[in-house]
Amino acid sequence: MYEKMKPDVLARLFQQRSQARLIRFDEQTVPGTALNDLNPKLWNRFKTVISPKDDREFLENRNSG
């Protein structure tokens, strides 16, 4: 259904995002929602071996740093 991004396009996207210190729309919380509203299938792919094991801690720390 979806076409994968080419590596050079993805690299350019990450480069642009790292240069901007703004909170983008996809990083903002949505009023009236909770962590339980998030679909684990959509965010689990962002976990790595160094991610917190606790799901709540992982999700709450996504925007820090």
How many independent structural domains does the chain possess?
Answer: 1
C-alpha to C-alpha distance for 32 and 21, rounded to whole angstroms: 25
Kindly report the pTM of this predicted structure: 0.49
| Residue partners of 24: CB distance under 8 A and separation at least 6 | 17
C-alpha to C-alpha distance for 40 and 47, rounded to whole angstroms: 11
| Domain assignment present for 10 | no
Residue whose structure tokens are 């160094």: 50
| Domain assignment present for 14 | no
Look up the domain containing 47 and give its range: 34-65
Per residue in 3-56, pLDDT (tens digit) is: 888 889 888 887 776 665 666 667 778 899 988 999 999 999 999 999 999 999
Token readout for 8 is 């050079």
